[in-house]
């Protein structure tokens, strides 16, 4: 909307919470709030079949929640993202029932997925109207590390820039450095914010769930959202 500030948020897909090296680097990055960004941790549950220890996972999940409590004065999980960008009506209904904000939608087509893969396509935050009548707040991911680095020299057209990365990216010195540098430059173009503040400020666009499915259904662009307080 004309005259409104434009914001950017960052999230990390934490896929290796039991890898001490990966966890230490992510925890340090999150604590440092690079360029003023408060990085949201999208932490998946442990996989006992893969030998992942639930006790250690819970210890680190609690630490993540305690850190969030100190910053946000809240303990409950608020965000959800489907693995491999997977989503369908049942997943969306479950996320809405639990009161989550969903970050599974993307504004781009992941190159490794088929065009008809079960996922969501959206260019800006919106409330999705589900078949049950529930509404699910959707905040799409818009840029990976590489996409952000390539986009920064040009105009950032997205109403909200949502950068995502994976915790394992921090093991690669070049990718880790690229992330930090890109966030510094992004902070010069957009006001750093976080996902919970975006949702708290309100999303004023409603779309039917089918409008954000890939395939023959038209992709309606949701561009209208209230500015942050």
Tell how far CA 165 is from the center of its chain.
9
Residue 99: band (very low, low, confident or very high) from pLDDT cuts 50, 70, 90: confident
Take residue 203 and report the two structure tokens written for it.
Answer: 């999303």
Side-chain-facing half-sphere of 215: CA atoms under 13 Å: 9
d(CA 23, CA 179): 17
pLDDT > 60? residue 57: no
Take residue 114 and report the two structure tokens written for it.
Answer: 């088929």
pLDDT recorded at residue 56: 59
What's the maximum distance between 2 C-alpha atoms anywhere in the chain? 52
3-state secondary structure of 58: helix
d(CA 224, CA 36): 25
Domain ranges of the chain: 7-212
Take residue 145 and report the two structure tokens written for it.
Answer: 């590390």
User: pLDDT digits over 64-97, tens only?
Assistant: 444 344 344 444 678 888 888 988 898 899 889 8
User: pLDDT digits over 162-207, tens only?
Assistant: 999 999 999 999 999 999 999 999 999 999 999 999 999 889 899 9
Name the helix (H) or strand (E) containing 19. none
- pTM to 2 decimals? 0.80
Mean pLDDT along residues 52-68:
51
pLDDT > 50? residue 98: yes
Higher pLDDT: 66 or 141? It is 141
d(CA 151, CA 154): 5
Residue 150: band (very low, low, confident or very high) from pLDDT cuts 50, 70, 90: very high
Residue-by-residue DSSP string for 74-118: --S--EE--GGG---HHHHHHHHHTTPEE---BSS--TTS-TTSS
Q: Which range has highest mean pLDDT (19-33, 48-62, 69-83)? A: 19-33
User: pLDDT digits over 100-138, tens only?
Assistant: 899 999 999 888 888 778 899 999 999 999 999 999 999
d(CA 106, CA 200): 21
216: left (phi over 0), alpha (psi -120 to 50) or beta: alpha
């Amino acid at each position: 909307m004309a005259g409104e500030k434009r914001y950017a948020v960052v999230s990390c897909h934490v896929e290796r919470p039991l890898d001490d090296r990966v966890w230490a680097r992510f925890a340090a990055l999150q604590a440092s709030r690079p360029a003023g960004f408060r990085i949201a941790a999208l932490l998946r549950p442990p996989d006992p079949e893969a030998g992942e220890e639930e006790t250690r996972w819970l210890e680190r999940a609690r630490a993540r929640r305690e850190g969030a409590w100190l910053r946000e004065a809240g303990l409950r999980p608020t965000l959800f993202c489907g693995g491999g960008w997977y989503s369908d009506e049942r997943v969306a209904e479950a996320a809405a029932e639990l009161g989550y904000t969903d970050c599974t939608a993307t504004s781009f087509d992941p190159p490794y997925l088929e065009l008809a893969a079960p996922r969501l396509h959206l260019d800006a935050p919106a409330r999705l109207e589900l078949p049950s009548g529930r509404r699910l707040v959707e905040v799409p991911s818009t840029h990976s590390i590489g996409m952000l680095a390539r986009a920064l020299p040009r105009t950032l057209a997205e109403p909200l820039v949502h950068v995502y990365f994976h915790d394992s990216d921090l093991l690669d010195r070049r990718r880790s450095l690229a992330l930090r540098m890109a966030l510094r430059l992004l902070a010069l173009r957009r006001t750093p914010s976080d996902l919970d503040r975006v949702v708290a400020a309100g999303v004023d666009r409603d779309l039917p769930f089918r409008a954000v499915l890939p395939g023959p259904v038209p992709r309606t662009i949701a561009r209208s959202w209230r500015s942050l307080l």
